[in-house]
Amino acid sequence: MGLQLCYMGRKKHHERGPDYQPRFIAPSAIPFDEDHETPHALTKAEIVEITGQFAAAAGRVVKAGFNVVELQACHGYLISSFISPLSNKRNDEYGGSLKNRTRFGCEVLEAIRATVGDDVPVFARFSATDMVEGGNTVKENVEVARMFKAAGADVMHVSIGGTAPGVQYGSQADLHPGYIIPYSEIIRREAQVPTVTVGVIKSPLMAEEAIRNGRADLVAIGRALLSDPYWPLRAAKELDVDLEWPKPIQAAKLW
């Protein structure tokens, strides 16, 4: 059982109410879109404070009995907004180069690892591509995965997009079953780190193919479980056979 830690940052939803004071924060004062407020650009002192808050939250997760801690570092939320050049225009050690833009996420992972120790698995969920011109490419995010691994992440939970308006997780035409599996395969191969794949994986056979052919180490099932809570039982029945597994279609065009 695991729990994901997330700070939405500039994508925080503005809930209307007399006593509600949302804290829109980001690396730079750039709103996500016209429906979101202009965020406050974090100071270095605030970055250090939030890093400590992530670590303290991870400690509470473990104390509560969870087995895994996952850091949400994708889809344009706070850590992701530091990594992407679309939202990070800083000129200090947290902006500019890819290494600098990834610094905040690495510091958070290092703080989490120092808090939970070596025996608790730490996952990091991140976007393998920004899917828009001017954003991070797959090649750049392979480097991000390597840096996250060095900072203490045991597993990369691979997603895509969400860092810019209109490309949340791919256009509707791109949302075919298993559309993120090729990205998981690339990150796993090039960054030499275990991966979780996700994305319209409705078939147990599709999930098993990704594992058997080395395209991912774990498969995340979300909405399919909402529509079919017995999905794991059905999968166990369907996969209790000895099959000849096909080789995967290579993801060369993405790389």
Give residue-wise pLDDT tens across range 37-54. 889 999 999 999 999 999
Given a cut of 50, whether residue 173 has pLDDT beyond it is no
d(CA 47, CA 98): 18
For residue 228, is it within any domain? Answer: no
- Give me the number of domains the chain comprises: 1
What CA–CA distances, in Å, run from 218 to 119, 156, 170, 214, 215? 19, 10, 22, 10, 9
| CB-CB neighbours of 229 under 10 Å | 9
What CA–CA distances, in Å, run from 196 to 70, 156, 159, 213, 214? 11, 6, 9, 14, 11
- 98 close to 140: Cβ distance less than 8 angstroms: yes
Of 77, 94, 169, 183, the catalytic one is: 77
For residue 158, is it within any domain? Answer: yes
d(CA 98, CA 81): 12
Is 77 one of the annotated active-site residues of the chain?
A: yes
For residue 208, is it within any domain? Answer: no
For residue 118, is it within any domain? Answer: yes
What CA–CA distances, in Å, run from 66 to 1, 53, 71, 115, 116? 5, 18, 14, 14, 11
Each residue's pLDDT tens digit, 2-29: 999 999 888 876 565 555 555 789 999 9
Average pLDDT over residues 91-105: 97
Residue 230: alpha-carbon gap to chain centroid: 26
DSSP one-letter code for 129: -
Query: Would you state the torsion angle of the CA atoms of residues 202, 208, 210, 211, taken in this order, to the nearest 10 degrees?
Result: 140
Q: What is the percent of the chain where pLDDT is above 70? A: 87
For residue 100, is it within any domain? Answer: yes
For tokens 């992972």, name the residue.
Answer: 109
Each residue's pLDDT tens digit, 136-165: 999 999 999 999 999 999 999 999 988 887
For residue 221, is it within any domain? Answer: no
Which residue range is the domain that position 15 belongs to?
Answer: 2-170
pTM, rounded to two decimals:
0.88
- 69 close to 5: Cβ distance less than 8 angstroms: yes
d(CA 251, CA 202): 21
For residue 222, is it within any domain? Answer: no
Quote the tokens at residue 21. Answer: 């004071």
For residue 46, is it within any domain? Answer: yes
Output the domain CATH number for residue 91: 3.20.20.70
